[in-house]
Structure 1
Amino acid sequence: MASKTLPKDNTVKTAKPPRKTQAERSAATRKILLDAAIKCLFEHGYGTTTTILVAEMAGVSRGAMLHQFPSKADLMSFVVEAVFEDEVRQYGKLLKGIDDPRERLLAYPMAVWKLHSRPAGVAVMEIFQGSRSDHALARKLKQTQAKIDKFAVASLESEFPHGVSIPLLQLIVGVARGLAVSQLIAPTARSAKEPMELFQDLLRAGMEAHLLRADTKGKKK
């Protein structure tokens, strides 16, 4: 009796992906919690945002949350730092190719407004607003803000070698933040893009009339 030949197994065996390190798993969990915290802050505000709600939204256990962020202040401080790091990259993209100091300054309002209007930008504004009554968070943010300010000053010095008007920059950021907030509390209103474009036109007119400068070169003391 002839022996039967067994069919060949043509199944392709795929190699298992390498096991993630503890650091990689931790980073992945923090990213999930970051996204959930931003979503929660954007949709519900600082007062309603709790570590329990963020953990539920992220789909992680309470224990996993506490392992990464023992307190709400720790989580909120992390959100501010992470969003700032992303904003640095986004500013680079939005202002890419604009090397002239004057034109770069004129491009800032729209860039600031776009970033502050994002859920991440709104989340950070919610956090800073909440820190007014949260002393633990205020202490955490003081350290974070110091690092951000140091980086911002260094960046401005490299972008504007002759110096830049700090009050003018404060005005730009204030207008952009204000329009971002007004758009949030009045979502049925028209987009804030047109007011931002008008503000840019006013800045340009002020520079052309020599009432405003992109830098402080030659500024009278």
Structure 2
Amino acid sequence: MSTPTRVPQEERTRVMRQRLLEATVECLVEVGFARTSTTLVSQRAGVSRGAQLHHFPTKNDLVLAAVGHVTQIRGSDLETAAATMPHGTRRTRAVLQMLGDHFASPVFSAALELWVAARTDPALLAAVGPLEQRVGREVHRLTVELLGIDEEVPGNRELIQATLDLVRGLGLANTISDDTRRRARILDRWADRLDAVLAAQPSSRDHSTKEQP
């Protein structure tokens, strides 16, 4: 009879921390920052209260770790979605759909809860601020790359910023009620607008708009 393989302590610790962080994100989405507690998180994660306190003694410890976890998820989700973008005339609308889906996702709702809490919590703000700036830069970079826009052309950088402000605002609207249909109509029109403006700059989009064989 074979002896069961013993999972190394380091791996058990990693898995437990991962479960706690995922449970924290779920709680932020479902009940908000104010009602998220260490007790609720440990129950959701299926981890004993003592084990949870060993890894994260306070709610702030837990939430600050969750900030990094949320940031990592958002970056990974964007990279994965970016890899599936079509080429040709459908590309602009597909990129806007990707951005719209990202800012209407549960993980964005979790990030939003952290933004609101950070406004009056200096320690949380010190953690959330730099990470949100990093995510913002990455989203901006991906959008420029996917749309094939030359930011050195006057007005193009503002066009990208307006696009990101638009999808972020639509994501905020979606936290109140399901805004899927209205969002789709707005993104349809904005894709038309982007294509019309960028049609005068064919050289900046050649690499991203050609149909693949």
TM bin (shorter chain): 0.7 to 0.9
TM-score normalized by structure 1?
Answer: 0.71
Task: State the one-letter code of the partner of 1:196.
Answer: L
Partners of 2:133 and 2:16 lie apart in 1 by 27
Tell whether 2:190 aligns with 1:203: no
Partners of 1:197 and 1:157 lie apart in 2 by 19
Q: Percent identity?
A: 26
Tell whether 2:178 aligns with 1:182: no
Tell whether 2:33 aligns with 1:46: yes
CA contact (8 A) 1:36 1:54 kept: yes
Shift of 1:39: 1.4
Indicate the larger mover: 112-121 or 82-91. Answer: 82-91
SS, match of residue 10 in structure 2: helix
Indicate the larger mover: 82-91 or 146-155. Answer: 146-155
TM-score normalized by structure 2?
Answer: 0.73
CA contact (8 A) 1:183 1:191 kept: no
Tell whether 2:113 aligns with 1:122: no
Partners of 1:179 and 1:35 lie apart in 2 by 25
Partners of 1:95 and 1:133 lie apart in 2 by 34
Indicate which of 78, 85, 93 corresponds to 2:72: 85
Partners of 1:89 and 1:128 lie apart in 2 by 20
Partners of 1:163 and 1:21 lie apart in 2 by 50
Task: Please tell me the root mean square deviation across aligned C-alpha atoms, in Å.
Answer: 3.5
Partners of 2:64 and 2:175 lie apart in 1 by 23
Indicate which of 131, 145, 149 corresponds to 2:118: 131
CA contact (8 A) 1:116 1:176 kept: yes
Q: Which residue of 2 aligns with 1:24?
A: 11
Partners of 2:145 and 2:99 lie apart in 1 by 19
CA contact (8 A) 2:114 2:128 kept: no
Shift of 1:81: 2.1
Task: State the one-letter code of the partner of 1:20.
Answer: V
SS, match of residue 185 in structure 1: coil
Partners of 2:186 and 2:140 lie apart in 1 by 28
Number of residue pairs the alignment of both structures matches: 199
CA contact (8 A) 2:23 2:45 kept: yes
- Structure with the higher fraction of residues in helix conformation: 2
Q: Which has the larger radius of gyration?
A: 1
Partners of 1:162 and 1:75 lie apart in 2 by 41
Structure 1 residues without counterparts, runs of 5 or longer: 1-12, 215-221
Partners of 2:180 and 2:71 lie apart in 1 by 28
